[in-house]
Amino acid sequence: MNDLGRLEDLPLEYRERLTEQNLVPLWPSLRGVLPPHVPTRKTAPTHWSYQAIKPLLLRAGELTPIEKAERRVLVLANPGHGLEKMQASAAIYLGMQLLMPGEWAPSHRHTPNAVRMIVEGEGAYTTVDGEKCPMSRGDLILTPTGLWHEHGHDGVDPVIWLDVLDLPLVYYMEASYHVNGDRQTIKAGEGYKAYARGGVMPTPVFQRSGKRYPMLRYPWADAKGALEAMAANDAALDCVQVTYVNPETGEDAENILGYYALMLRPGQTLQLPARSPACVFHQIEGQSEVQIDAHRFTLQSADTCCAPGYTPVTLRNLSATEAAFLFMADESPLHRKLGVYEVRA
Ligand code: 1HN
């Protein structure tokens, strides 16, 4: 590979004339934006401990009333991007949100897509597009682009969940904005009940609904049941994984980020190949070790970590007797749509 000319090789007077005309020579920066073989990644392997987050989040509950926060969230920020960027990866935002009993997070909609993975507490709910979605540990609730959503809490203990959004990407695209709305009227009919069985789906007039988001809540009991059935059905199956999909089409549940649940059998080590998208792991049940390059993290219950793209990841269940369950989010739908998705053996 030949060395390309540097900026300093050019006469100062010439560089100034370029600047005056809002012009920049490409060749001094070409290798920077187009490095050989492997992209430059700011996404650093990073681990966030739930045990460390929880007291700080509860303190935020005392320091900042919900009316002053709208959404009371501590953002899981990747130091590789700079904490102020509020990014876990190029396209993924992560935050831990707290709702106290009786609190109300008012209705709004926005262009970024979101999901929440419920971590702790009972009695809270999100109303999405008029559907009341109860929140229980391990449930996944979608709030896709443009859909009204608000959170309420009729229980007695604090409720905490993990928010996953494609905000960094949508913001970078200069397409991120929100609209505030009125309290929603709750409609009858719950997608997670109607679409609760994978092999059959509602076709009331011999037709699928054709809705882009027919199912908004994915109960943990169903996802876990699917994983356990898969594991029992094929003892040789290495990667016991399900994808959260649109139950009518089998397509990814949302347009930009992909969501998955994974089971590690007792004592199992699972090697994931290097793939172009960055990826997030969140421990729903059990304990796992995650190896990303030279970094090794222990994920205790409700811990979260992220891995850059183009990097192999090894997961290990730390229990020899119990299965471990992880929630994953990644940038695969985005990479596939853009035609840059890669798996490297
Ligand atoms: C948002 O709308 C929620 O509705 C949570 O709970 C986190 C982070 C950035 C932008 C919008 C929510 C968010 C958010």
| Residue 208 counted as domain residue | yes
pLDDT in tens, 307-322: 999 999 999 999 999 9
User: Is residue 41 within 6 Å of ligand 1 at its C-beta?
Assistant: no
Specify if 32 maps to a domain.
no
For 296, the domain range is 46-344
- In short, whether 94's Cβ falls inside 6 Å of ligand 1 is no
Predicted TM-score (pTM) above 0.95: yes
**39 assigned to some structural domain:** no
CATH of the domain at 252: 2.60.120.10
Which two structure tokens, joined as six digits, stand for 31?
């290798």
Residues sharing a CB contact under 8 Å with residue 189, sequence separation 6 or more, in sequence order: 131
pLDDT of residue 1 exceeding 90, the answer is: no
Q: Is residue 204 part of a domain?
A: yes
Does 15 sit in the ligand 1 pocket, CB within 6 Å?
no
41 domain residue, yes or no: no
Q: What is the mean pLDDT of residues 155-172?
A: 98
Could you give the number of structural domains in the chain? 1
* Ligand 1 touching residue 280 (CB < 6 A): no
112 Cα: distance to centroid of ligand 1 (angstroms) = 9
Answer for the pair 117, 140: CB distance below 8 angstroms, yes or no.
yes
103 in a structural domain: yes
The answer as to whether 30 is a domain residue is: no
The protein residue with its alpha carbon nearest to ligand 1, atom 6, reads 71
Query: Closest Cα to atom 12, ligand 1: which residue?
Result: 71
> What are the pLDDT digits (tens) for 260-290?
999 999 999 999 999 999 999 999 999 999 9
Residue 2 pLDDT > 90, yes or no? no
Instruction: Evaluate: CB of 167 within 6 angstroms of ligand 1.
Output: yes
Ligand 1 atom nearest to CA at 143: 4
Residue 8 lies in a domain: no
